[in-house]
Structure 1
Amino acid sequence: MIFPIVLPASNVTFPVAVPPRLLEEHLVSRADSLHALGSQSLQSLRPGQLLLHSLARPLSPAQSMQLSSLGRLTHERHFNTRKFKRDEMYIPGGLVLGLTLSASARDLHEVLHEEVIECAFINHLHPWDIVSSFSYIKEMDENITGDLEALTLRTIGVKNVDVHLDLLDQAFPLALFTTPSLRTKHMEALCKAHIPELSKKIVCVVERRILRQSPKTEAFLL
């Protein structure tokens, strides 16, 4: 018996801590000062809209190792080229998330605040694999102080596919964007059944909420 001492069950309850939103609250409180600068949002977005982002780029082995060292990551699959071949080396999850979100920056560059609600890593990413992404707008909240709006969206990162070119006329299943907490098994089953072009290609699924200036223009009445 590993633990011979039997302890009674604990009755301690931990309070649910509300995550601090100091930066977001500060931005909302200063929303009126942004009005004089004019809206920096170039594109009007609505729920149900799908964005195929045009930016696609990889990480080289050197870049991956340097950033992994800065993050003090120690897994051998990020560094040890003696032990692992190129197709056995992995890009760390944090960098996969960064590549996925940065690929959407060209269309969502006006973000003032961003909150990652949920993130799932579906397939491995290797050095020199190009990452592109597409986003689906799920919800929109315009009831915020000043000329601000909050968007809830799902951004999906894929490898070795330029979504802006390869998937321009592709029909996407709605379940890809609305099914909660998709994991590798369910994602692959969904892709094989409805969009085989993305089978084994999806590397990251990010649910996030962004705060930005509203692109609305004021109506001028004569």
Structure 2
Amino acid sequence: AVAGGGRPLGLMLGHGDLFRLTGALPHAELTLAHPRSMVVMAARAAGIEPFDTPYTNVADRIGLEQHSADGHVHGFTGKCCLHPDQLDTVNRCMTPTASELAWARKVTQAQGQGALATLTRKVPGLTAPGVGGAAGTEGMAVVDGMLVGPPHLKAAHRMLALCPPAVLATEAEPRVRGRRVSHALHRPPSPDDVLPNPYEMTATAGMRDLWVQCFYSHDRVVTSAPFAARLGLSGPDAPPLPFMMGLYLACSMSSTHGAIYHLGFRDARQLAPLRVGDTFRQEIQVRSVRNTGDGKRAVVTTHRRMLRVGDDVPVFTLDKLELYRRQPESFGPSSAAAKQRSEEQEMAMAFRDALTRRLEDVPPRAASATSFEEGEVLLHGFARPLGVTANLALSTQLLVTHPIHLDHHRFDLGHGRGVVVSGGLVVSMTLAAAARDLHEVVWEELLAADNLRPVAPTQTVGALSYVLSRRPMEGQEHLEELVVRTLGVTDLTPSEELADTVLPRALFHIEGERPSAYDAFCREHGLQALEGRVVCVATRRLLRLKG
């Protein structure tokens, strides 16, 4: 790259002799990866342009597209073409994309406004003399959630230099600027404000099948149609919808209304059977607004009521906590909300009582469920990822609309990382990881669930649970009521990797929604295996058949 006295314009990788000498097959990715990176680094260090190896299968346009895009990611400026038909594809793939150019413009705009000194000014000892003018553009700042500094600024200028010149519109070619449709709520919320939500959804057998394929359950109310029918939960031919599927339906089929991030749930209750074939709609009311201490964000709690279309019977209710931009004022729940909460709790208990009465008529069978005691820690052995395909299928069928759950072009950093599994699905993954051990549940209530960290579709979620309380059911010796707190953990199988670890009970009594509280606790108590891995905390009240 430095030979020739500065005369070379660029350096090109040719792979023919490389494959001949190594014995590798043409386009062997493992063989090409190292020399491709070396050519880019050598060329950039010498201040010349790196050009990628040719793609010899001139009839394979799909392969050419993938190889050219991969070269662009590696840092190549161009690519050798062996046939005129390859030119358009290579030029398109090697030209900065619209999203890359948009990012570059934001970075250079931040430089022009002096914003790149923002973080430098905030760090004691790093403030350089003359901050504010031209020198003030050489610091760091957060642009679109990414920390950028001088290296990113140079990359942005280089990217803009590669941008093809804009073509001016003429009278013969009139143009129009597209309008982006917004689904955000553009007025400040007020107590008990009803948010627009015109959607309805019919729960099909296919949707239920997809759900149970993704979230493990060993409860007969989920797996056995005859058992569920005896309890009045479904007809004789199909089991009912699982509890967590009902919860997700009650909060997902709606517009985002401008929410930035899902935080958690409170008081999720089932009020009536959830059957395949039923059509549901949502009512969404604002319950409370709490602006955060930094004055930039607000925690907005909305109350979701899912009603059965036709008779308008409420079948599921919950509170959903989401992060929004700062709101004009904070407020708490109204007296009307408190009254409605009491009425819904009575309906949930009536539904539970009806189930327990029917359980008395269910023929006895040898129960395999283990009975648990207060204070026990359960290290669950079931752990699995949701998967990219399953995440897309669930998000699409249940009308999830936030792009960070779906748009792999914008957010996928490779192998599904960068894309975020919806918060309700992460809670479902956590509880599914505990389902094999805590089975024979016939009724449940989700008291609280907090999403602490984002989870990628490729990450495995396991769980460990703590029995907060246990009490027998008076007059029903075959039943017990448990209150259980379950921690969802990524890329960890607790039954294997925590089997020899003594866990402080205080781990299961941490209050708050911040992951930093769990990380600090793990560091303080030497729990390195858990630090940075707790992604979800869910507390449930369970009614279950005991052994």
Q: Secondary structure at the match of 2:360?
A: helix
Aligned equivalents of 1:143 and 1:82: distance in 2? 53
Give the number of aligned pairs: 204
Partner of 1:25: 353
Q: CA deviation at 1:182?
A: 4.6
CA contact (8 A) 1:133 1:157 kept: yes
Q: Do the aligned partners of 2:515 and 2:534 also contact (CA within 8 Å) in 1?
A: no
Structure 1 window deviating more from structure 2 (171-180 vs 103-112): it is 171-180
Q: Which has the larger radius of gyration?
A: 2
- Offset at 1:113? 0.7
**Residue in 1 aligned with 2:279?**
none
Quote the Cα distance in structure 1 between the aligned partners of 2:368 and 2:512.
Answer: 30
State the Cα distance separating 1:78 from its structure 2 match: 1.0
State the match for 2:542 in structure 1: 210
In the alignment, is residue 97 of structure 1 matched against residue 427 of structure 2?
yes
Cα offset, 1:39, TM superposition: 5.4
Contact 1:39 1:213 in 2 (8 A): no
State how 1:1-222 maps to structure 2 within 5 Å: 13-14=335-336, 15-16=338-339, 17-18=341-342, 19=345, 20-21=347-348, 22-34=350-362, 36-38=363-365, 40-84=367-411, 85=413, 86-146=416-476, 147-194=478-525, 195-215=527-547
What letter corresponds to residue 359 of structure 2 in structure 1? Answer: A
Q: Structure 2 CA distance, aligned partners of 1:53 and 1:82?
A: 35
Supply the AA of the counterpart residue of 1:201.
R
**Higher RCO, 1 vs 2 (CA within 8 Å, ≥6 residues apart):** 1
- Partner SS, residue 208 of structure 1: strand
Following TM superposition, by how much is the alpha carbon of 1:214 offset from its aligned partner in structure 2, in angstroms? 2.9
SS at structure 1 position matched to 2:335: coil
* Structure 1 residue 41, shift from structure 2 partner: 4.4
Deviation at 1:204, TM superposition (A): 0.7
SS class of match (1:120):
strand
Tell me if the contact between 2:462 and 2:490 (Cα under 8 Å) persists in the aligned partners. yes
Structure 1 length normalisation: TM-score?
0.85
Partner residue of 2:27? none
Contact 1:143 1:149 in 2 (8 A): yes
Structure 2 CA distance for aligned equivalents of residues 184 and 145 of structure 1: 42
Residues 445 and 541, structure 2, Cα contact 8 Å, conserved in 1: yes
Contact 2:382–2:433 (Cα < 8 Å) also in 1 = yes
Structure 1: gaps (5+ residues): 4-11, 216-222
Give the stretch that moved more between structures: 112-121 or 173-182: 173-182
* Mapped contact 2:370–2:546 kept (Cα < 8 A): no
**SS state of the match for residue 101, structure 1?**
helix
Check whether the contact 1:154–1:207 (CA below 8 A) recurs between aligned residues: yes
Moved over 6 A (4+): none
CA distance in 1, matches of 2:335, 2:496: 52
Question: Structure 2-normalised TM-score?
Answer: 0.36
Separation in structure 1 between the aligned mates of residue 513 and residue 372 of structure 2, nearest angstrom: 24
Q: Are residues 27 and 181 of structure 1, via their aligned partners in 2, closer, same or farther at CA, if it must alter by over 3 Å?
A: farther
Identity percentage over the alignment?
31
Alpha carbons of structure 1 residues 144 and 181: separation in structure 2 relative to 1, 3 Å: farther
Q: Is the 8 A contact 1:191 1:198 kept in 2?
A: yes
More helix by share: 2
SS of the residue corresponding to residue 353 of structure 2 reads helix
Considering only aligned residues, what root-mean-square deviation do their CA atoms show, in Å?
A: 1.8
Q: Answer with 39-48 or 106-115: which moved more.
A: 39-48
Query: Are the aligned partners of 2:464 and 2:488 in contact in 1 as well (CA < 8 Å)?
Result: yes
